[in-house]
Amino acid sequence: MNRLAPGVLRLPHWSVVSEPIIEVDPALFGPNPRDPDGDTQDTSLQVRVSTDQAERAAHALASVVPRFSFVVEDGRELDEEEMERNHLLPRPLDSPGWVSDVYRHPDGPYVVIDNNGYMAPEAGRTTAGIVVQALREAGVTRARLTPSPEHDGVNLDEVWIET
């Protein structure tokens, strides 16, 4: 009989659950240093997925790039009809005006989100949630969402996947 130390429970091999570990760097959608009140985020966001499963992550990121333009400042993700109605409002809720293709970086894929000079924290959280969900669905088991440095000696114009 195989004895274990008191208090140690042996679990059958099928009971081990490995959840994907996908972290979001708190600096990803941090305060805009040009805004002394701290109400806005930086004007162009570079979202990088640092992972050793870069190819899988790049395809996951490319699959959700179109969704980013439908995330409005209050954090909701609108459908096409809601977005059309939003644009007809006297003061429409802000959303990104442009999202790049997926670019290649040695640490992993990244995209640039041009949010017209403003991104509310709620919209940043929704955008990060969309990426995390896509990575999990693509089977990425370990990743960290970070801001991609603009000038770190890497050619940041190398398109990996056109979106």
| Token pair in block for residue 87 | 């644009």
Instruction: Read off the CATH number of the domain in which 138 is found.
Output: 3.30.70
In the predicted model, what is the mean pLDDT of residues 66-93?
A: 96
Does the model's pTM come out above 0.75?
yes
How many structural domains comprise the chain? 1
Instruction: Determine, yes or no, domain membership for 12.
Output: no
Within a 10 A sphere around the Cβ of 34, how many other Cβ atoms? 9
CB-based contact 66:163 (threshold 8 Å): yes
Residues 134 and 64 sit within 8 Å (Cβ to Cβ): yes
Share of the chain above pLDDT 90, in %: 48
User: Can you tell me the distance from the alpha carbon of 102 to that of 48, in angstroms, rounded to the nearest whole number?
Assistant: 10
